[in-house]
């Protein structure tokens, strides 16, 4: 359901609606309704025959028409389970013939004679598209003319024209009323599945859509992503500028969601300040890209908003990796979103095996507890990528040696060691498929990798060791300005970050990699010295060389 679907209330009925509308109900139900109509017609015919003083030319024909209608009704009722459109059309034509018996029973010159046709025509216009119903009007016109010829020897064209025109007009009115009622019912159904404040799908529509998309994903083997979007500190918005302003924030966010999603994604309000984006055919990489596009769009939309800066935290989960049901995926996305909140808000986290560790961060419990949890998380990242925790531990050891050798005070050396231990914690934001990819990365995939220092720095911002985040952010910067993410150069790159960069490079060169064997100490030192002054700080390189002996 799309919240932007135009309302059908108050707009003119399109002629295509009139001529393309199908049956209003399943055919067995229509057959039963037709049976009831036939029985009512039979009852009316019988009453007309039995009433005294009825000006009937041939009462037996009217009675025969009534009996035939009763039999037709019984046939429709008994065969309703097997009823098809052709069968219903045949029943309509039989009804036309029975109406003709009524015409002959009254006498073709009598004004009441053609009333039997009205039952057939009205039922046809209720049951079928207008173009099919007009065929029944045409058959009535032909049969009525033949009845006049049989009864009187000629056609009374004025009576014939008035009768056929009246029947066609009644059918047109019925069709327009039917189309109008269908449009109103559709509008009511859409309103029942839509959040009244934002116009997005509500939880019921979200569940219905998910069931459909999950079945499609299982059948095709394609992924299905669920993004849980939560407004950061929304209570402060309400407290600061009132609930009306808060409602406007929700509506604005809904518009941003609609504008940022793909055309076939479904945006829904899940409750309060929580929104859900259902994204078919979207893997972890695509979910992260979509979530980040949404997150940055929200930042821009609220940059100058009366409510002040408003941001969102987003958790994402993907079927079948993170769950097989809507509840499982929503819970996984909720854990990821909770971790995003705890890691500083205004960020995206993809559900993973390490999310529970990240969610254990308690920003109210003090920096030491937070830092310990981040160290656990960094080690978990190493376990997930290389099967052990040696990388971050070795980088921390080399960084500690280089820091001591450069003459930093003891407390600063310990800070450098901690920062080196956590230097790659931001890689938790890199989708697993990129981590496991053996071939070259695309530009978009490389952008994920380049973002990990920023993510790690944000995670450290929620601790008492905010300065460590500055070093983690800069540990891929180069002295010549060719590094990332900020392109710093020279003295703008913190000394501590330069130490971590050299330590990480030495650890990488002296460790086995899938694409090359490890280098010897002598070979690694030669590589470091060849890049000194451009990529690495020469003094730091020489300090590590001295420390390693």
Give me the half-sphere count of Cα atoms (radius 13 Å) on the Cβ side of residue 232: 23
At 24, the pLDDT band (50, 70, 90 cuts) reads: low
| Topology (CATH) of 194-351 | Alpha-Beta Plaits (3.30.70)
Q: What mean pLDDT is reported for the chain?
A: 82
What average pLDDT does the segment 374-386 reach?
65
**Of the given ranges (318-322, 449-453, 460-464), which has the lowest mean pLDDT?**
460-464
State the pLDDT at residue 470: 93
Our answer to whether residue 273 is catalytic in this structure is yes
Percent of the chain topping pLDDT 90: 30
Q: Which of 14-23, 241-250, 297-306 has the highest mean pLDDT?
A: 241-250
Class of domain 361-549: mainly alpha
State the pLDDT at residue 451: 85
Strand order in the sheet with 274-280: 266-271, 274-280, 224-231, 312-319, 348-350
State the pLDDT at residue 275: 97
**Of the given ranges (178-182, 319-323, 332-336), which has the lowest mean pLDDT?**
178-182
Instruction: Indicate where the chain has its CATH 1.10.3210.10 domain(s).
Output: 361-549
The model's pLDDT over 126-143, given as tens digits with 9 standing for 90+, comes to: 777 877 888 888 888 898
The model's pLDDT over 260-286, given as tens digits with 9 standing for 90+, comes to: 999 999 999 998 899 999 999 998 878
What average pLDDT does the segment 350-359 reach?
60
Please give the Cα distance from 318 to 324 (Å, whole number).
9
Q: Closest Cα to residue 535, out of 482, 493, 492? A: 482
3-state secondary structure at position 417: helix
Catalytic residue among 190, 248, 273, 467: 273
3-state secondary structure at position 221: coil
What average pLDDT does the segment 337-351 reach?
78
Q: Closest Cα to residue 289, out of 455, 436, 440, 447? A: 447
Parallel, antiparallel or unpaired: strands 266-271 and 224-231: unpaired
Q: Which residues contact 376 (CB under 8 A, 6 or more apart)?
A: 357
Q: Closest Cα to residue 153, out of 108, 197, 215? A: 108
| ∠ CA 24-28-30, rounded to 5° | 40
The model's pLDDT over 77-103, given as tens digits with 9 standing for 90+, comes to: 888 888 777 888 888 888 888 888 878
Q: Which of 16-20, 49-53, 381-385 has the highest mean pLDDT?
A: 49-53
Question: Could you tell me which residue, 522 or 153, shows the higher pLDDT?
Answer: 522
Question: Could you tell me which residue, 52 or 354, shows the higher pLDDT?
Answer: 52
Residue 89 burial (10 A CB sphere; 0-12, 13-18, 19+): middle
Give me the half-sphere count of Cα atoms (radius 13 Å) on the Cβ side of residue 145: 10
Contact 70, 109 (CB under 8 A): no
State the pLDDT at residue 353: 59
Instruction: Indicate where the chain has its CATH 3.30.70.270 domain(s).
Output: 194-351
Which token pair is 4? Answer: 């932007």
Query: Which residues, listed in sequence order, are joined to residue 225 by a DSSP beta bridge?
Result: 279, 318
Q: Closest Cα to residue 241, out of 310, 296, 295? A: 310
Q: Which residues contact 13 (CB under 8 A, 6 or more apart)?
A: 176, 179, 180, 183
The model's pLDDT over 481-499, given as tens digits with 9 standing for 90+, comes to: 999 999 999 999 999 999 9
Please give the Cα distance from 489 to 483 (Å, whole number).
8
Question: What backbone torsions phi and psi does residue 200 show, to the nearest 5 degrees?
Answer: -80, 170
Q: Is the pLDDT of residue 32 over 50?
A: yes
């Amino acid at each position: 359901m799309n919240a932007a679907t135009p309302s059908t209330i108050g707009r003119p009925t399109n002629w295509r609606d009139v001529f393309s509308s199908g049956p209003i109900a399943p055919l067995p139900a229509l057959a039963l309704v037709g049976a009831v109509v036939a029985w009512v017609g039979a009852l009316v015919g019988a009453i007309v025959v039995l009433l005294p003083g009825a000006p009937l030319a041939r009462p037996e024909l009217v009675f025969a028409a009534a009996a035939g209608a009763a039999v037709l009704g019984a046939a429709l009722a008994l065969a309703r389970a097997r009823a098809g459109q052709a069968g219903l059309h045949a029943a309509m034509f039989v009804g036309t013939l029975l109406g003709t018996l009524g015409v002959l029973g009254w006498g073709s010159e009598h004004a009441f004679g053609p009333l039997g046709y009205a039952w057939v025509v009205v039922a046809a216009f209720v049951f079928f598209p207008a173009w099919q119903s007009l065929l029944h009007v045409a058959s009535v016109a032909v049969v009525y003319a033949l009845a006049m010829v049989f009864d009187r020897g000629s056609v009374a064209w004025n009576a014939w024209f008035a009768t056929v025109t009246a029947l066609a007009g009644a059918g047109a009115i019925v069709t327009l009323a039917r189309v109008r009622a269908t449009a109103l019912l559709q509008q009511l159904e859409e309103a029942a599945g839509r959040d009244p404040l934002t116009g997005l799908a509500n939880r019921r529509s979200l569940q219905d859509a998910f069931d459909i998309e999950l079945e499609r994903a299982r059948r095709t083997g394609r992924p299905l992503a669920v993004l849980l979007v939560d407004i950061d500190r929304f209570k402060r918005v309400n407290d600061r500028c009132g609930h009306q302003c808060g409602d406007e924030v929700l509506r604005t966010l809904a518009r941003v969601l609609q504008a940022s999603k793909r055309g076939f994604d479904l945006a829904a309000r899940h409750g309060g300040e929580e929104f859900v984006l259902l994204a078919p055919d979207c893997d972890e990489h695509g979910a992260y890209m979509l979530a980040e596009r949404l997150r940055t769009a929200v930042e821009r939309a609220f940059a100058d908003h009366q409510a002040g800066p408003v941001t969102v935290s987003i958790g994402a989960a993907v079927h079948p990796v993170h769950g097989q049901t809507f509840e499982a995926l929503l819970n996984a996305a909720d854990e990821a979103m909770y971790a995003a909140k705890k890691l500083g808000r205004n960020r995206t986290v993809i559900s993973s095996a390490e999310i529970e560790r990240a969610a254990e961060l308690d920003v109210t419990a003090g920096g030491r507890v937070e830092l310990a949890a981040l160290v656990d998380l960094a080690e978990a990242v190493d376990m997930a990528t290389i099967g052990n925790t040696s990388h971050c531990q070795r980088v921390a050891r080399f960084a500690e040696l280089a820091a001591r050798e450069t003459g930093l005070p003891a407390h600063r050396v310990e800070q450098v060691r901690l920062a080196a231990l956590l230097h790659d914690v931001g890689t938790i934001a890199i989708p697993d498929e990129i981590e496991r990819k053996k071939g070259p990365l695309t530009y978009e995939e490389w952008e994920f990798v380049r973002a990990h220092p920023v993510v790690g720095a944000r995670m450290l911002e929620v601790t008492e060791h905010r300065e460590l985040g500055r070093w983690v952010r800069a540990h891929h910067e180069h002295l010549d300005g060719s590094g990332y993410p900020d392109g710093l150069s020279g003295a703008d790159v913190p000394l501590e970050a330069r130490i971590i960069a050299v330590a990480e490079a030495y650890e990488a060169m002296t460790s086995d990699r899938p694409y090359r064997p490890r280098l010897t100490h002598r070979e690694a030192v030669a590589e470091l010295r060849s890049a000194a002054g451009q990529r690495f700080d020469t003094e730091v390189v020489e300090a590590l060389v001295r420390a390693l002996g």
